[in-house]
Amino acid sequence: MKEKGLLIVLSGPSGVGKGTVRKEIFSHPDTAFEYSISMTTRAPREGEVNGVDYFFKSREEFEALIKEEKLLEYAEFVGNYYGTPVDYVRETLEEGKDVFLEIEVQGARQVRKKFPDGLFIFLAPPSLSELKNRIVTRGTETEDVILNRMTVAKEEIEMMNLYDYVVENDEIERACERIKAIVVAEHCRRERVEPRYIKMLEVE
Amino acid sequence: MKEKGLLIVLSGPSGVGKGTVRKEIFSHPDTAFEYSISMTTRAPREGEVNGVDYFFKSREEFEALIKEEKLLEYAEFVGNYYGTPVDYVRETLEEGKDVFLEIEVQGARQVRKKFPDGLFIFLAPPSLSELKNRIVTRGTETEDVILNRMTVAKEEIEMMNLYDYVVENDEIERACERIKAIVVAEHCRRERVEPRYIKMLEVE
């Protein structure tokens, strides 16, 4: 009758700095959640260790796992697969531990369907907040640059829709603090805490 | 077009330590919200300062304010009135600052009706978590003690219903940290952040 852990999903537009923020979070000794290591078919980069940075797999191995439904989510980028092994996530949550995923936006969409109760955090580029300034100072930029920036911003804002929280990556340390605060707060949500107390009363 | 502040309401059963937690929160120099000082008709205790600990008022003054609807909430305890002046709360929120109230459960109920979007935090006694142990070790306690404890616990759990978050006051410093985390998280909620971005795009 152990309480299940919380599934925490960090995502956001590519290039926003998800990996950097995730590394920073897990460099803190007081971080109380488990990182789910992704699986990929891309070759390890210098210094990357199998089972630490990624689980490195061949294309055949990866496609077999897709068929066996062993991936919580996966996506293909520039010819390489990236995905999340589902067994680790389920087992760790069952143990009552929080699991942290850092994944692409498409992956987050797949996870939302399977874990609607997960905690979905969107990491937003600071450029989004600068949008207004950019428009105001339009004299200094060409129409094309502004229009392009507006289109990208619209797409980024539309992506947010799926998420519970939005954290701006204005400064890595601040973004990490906010993400950790969100996890602490989520554990205090009444809907989560109340049933625990009610269950206590039902013991007899 | 300034964004409004957040109304933060800390409440919980009497004797749970709301005042102590509130004082601890406001002793931190980094606390970024404003404390709404309560009004009371009780006499100042030694060391209490008018306009710091409370606004001390006569019964006549207090009843006039009730009539003029100048109180966001009020209640009578042991022959004395306690209440929250509404103007300060509204003006401070309009300035875009978060306002923190530390009030009784009846008062919180009144505030919920007027500010459904407020952030309501229930401070729970640690004895509630010990309930299970107490029942398990029932051999050492009389039936009456256990039944009484169960009744009180049921009432306390029923009180929670109105709140967004439950924070156990197991240790003051930890309770404060969790309350501050909840405020940080609340500011990152997508429903709160997204409209700000959408508004930016509408500038043109």
Chain A residue nearest residue B129, CA to CA: A197
Q: Which residue ranges of A make up the annotated binding site for ATP?
A: 12-19
Binary contact (A182, B204; C-beta < 8 A): no
Q: What radius of gyration do chain A's Cα atoms show?
A: 19
Whether the pLDDT of residue A130 is over 80: the answer is no
Average pLDDT over residues B143-149: 77
How many percent of chain B have pLDDT more than 70? 92
Beta carbons of A20 and A110 less than 8 angstroms apart: no
Contacts with B129 from chain A: Cβ below 8 Å:
200
Contacts with A193 from chain B: Cβ below 8 Å:
124, 160, 165-166
Beta carbons of A127 and A17 less than 8 angstroms apart: no
Identify the contact set of chain A against chain B, taking CB-CB distances under 8 A.
121-122, 124, 128-129, 131-132, 135-136, 150, 153-154, 157, 160-161, 163-167, 177-178, 180-182, 184-186, 188-190, 193-194, 197-198, 200-201, 203-204
Q: Is the dihedral of CA B134, B137, B140, B142 positive or negative?
A: positive
Both ends of chain B: CA-CA distance in Å?
16
Superfamily of domain A7-36+98-201, CATH level 4: P-loop containing nucleotide triphosphate hydrolases (3.40.50.300)
Tell which of A165, A183, A191 to mutate to test the B interface (max B CBs under 10 Å).
Answer: A165
Binary contact (A157, B131; C-beta < 8 A): no
Confidence of residue A166 (pLDDT cuts 50, 70, 90): very high
Cβ atoms within 10 Å of A12's Cβ, excluding its own:
27
The residue length of chain A stands at 204
Token output for B70: 């100048």
> Chain-wide mean pLDDT for chain B?
89
Render the burial of B84-101: b for 16+ CB within 10 Å, e for the rest.
bbbebbeebbeeeebbbb
> Which range has highest mean pLDDT (A7-11, B105-109, B157-161)?
A7-11
Cβ atoms within 10 Å of A35's Cβ, excluding its own:
17
Contacts with A203 from chain B: Cβ below 8 Å:
132, 135-136
Confidence of residue B143 (pLDDT cuts 50, 70, 90): confident
Rounded to 5 degrees, φ, ψ at B163 are -95, 155
Confidence of residue B204 (pLDDT cuts 50, 70, 90): very low
Whether the pLDDT of residue B117 is over 50: the answer is yes
> Which range has highest mean pLDDT (A16-20, B30-34, B91-95)?
B91-95
> Chain-wide mean pLDDT for chain A?
89
Whether the pLDDT of residue B55 is over 90: the answer is yes
Q: Return the pLDDT at B185.
A: 97
Whether the pLDDT of residue B167 is over 60: the answer is yes
Q: Return the pLDDT at A114.
A: 92
Helix axes B190-201, B172-188, angle to 10 degrees: 30
When mean pLDDT is compared across A21-30, A149-158, B65-74, the lowest value belongs to A149-158
Average pLDDT over residues A129-143: 63
Using alpha carbons, select from A30, A33, A29 the residue that is nearest to residue A6. A33
Q: Return the pLDDT at A50.
A: 95
Render the burial of A125-163: b for 16+ CB within 10 Å, e for the rest.
bebbeebeebbeeeeeeeeeebeebbeebeebbebbebb
Residue recorded with tokens 């309930």: B131
Distance CA B140, CA A107 (A): 54
Cβ atoms within 10 Å of B127's Cβ, excluding its own:
16
Q: Return the pLDDT at B96.
A: 93
Q: Return the pLDDT at A141.
A: 67
B7-36+97-201 CATH choice from 3.40.50.720, 1.10.1040.10, 3.30.470.10, 3.40.50.300: 3.40.50.300
How many percent of chain A have pLDDT more than 70? 92
Beta carbons of A73 and A107 less than 8 angstroms apart: yes
Distance CA B105, CA B112 (A): 11
Contacts with A178 from chain B: Cβ below 8 Å:
184-185, 188
Binary contact (B190, A163; C-beta < 8 A): yes
Amino acid at site B22: R
